[in-house]
């Protein structure tokens, strides 16, 4: 596949340990983990994609390996990519997952458009 499956397994393991109800969905050429029907965290190529509170974005972008998520030519507010070297350690990966899970209850669900 076109994304780091080992990283995806690490994310699943942490979500399972936290007894988080989630499911995996293929998206963005990678996979995302849906929590409460909302995109919460993902793996795109070899990067972690995190959905965080936009109020904390500036602070979180100052962390090592964090960069704005830019799919369309401009950064998406409330989404950050985290580089692989910054999540080698389990506690670093868990930090980002905790940020995503903390914001998830406040995050808006995307509208499902089916024709």
Residue 113 in this model has a pLDDT that exceeds 70: no
What pTM does this model have?
Answer: 0.90
pLDDT bucket at 115, cuts 50 / 70 / 90: very low
- Six-digit token string for 21: 């109800």
At the topology level of CATH, where does 5-106 sit?
3.90.1150
Residue 92's H or E segment, with its range, is: helix 90-103
| Domain range annotation of the chain | 5-106
pLDDT bucket at 66, cuts 50 / 70 / 90: very high
For 9-17, which contacts have Cβ atoms below 8 Å and span 24 or more sequence positions? Answer: 10/90, 10/93, 11/41, 11/43, 11/48, 11/93, 11/97, 14/90, 14/93, 14/94, 14/97, 15/97
pLDDT bucket at 1, cuts 50 / 70 / 90: low
Residue 99, SS3? helix
Question: Residue range 33-60: average pLDDT?
Answer: 96
């Amino acid at each position: 596949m076109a994304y780091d499956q080992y990283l995806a397994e690490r994310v699943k393991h942490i979500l399972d340990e936290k007894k988080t109800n989630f499911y995996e969905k293929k998206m963005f050429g990678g996979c995302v983990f849906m929590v409460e029907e909302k995109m919460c965290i993902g793996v795109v190529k070899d990067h972690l994609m995190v959905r965080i509170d936009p109020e904390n974005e500036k602070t979180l972008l100052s962390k090592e390996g964090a960069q704005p998520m830019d799919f369309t030519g401009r950064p998406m507010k409330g989404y950050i990519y985290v580089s692989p070297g910054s999540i080698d350690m389990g506690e670093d990966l868990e930090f980002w997952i905790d940020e995503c899970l903390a914001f998830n209850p406040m995050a808006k669900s995307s509208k499902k458009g089916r024709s």
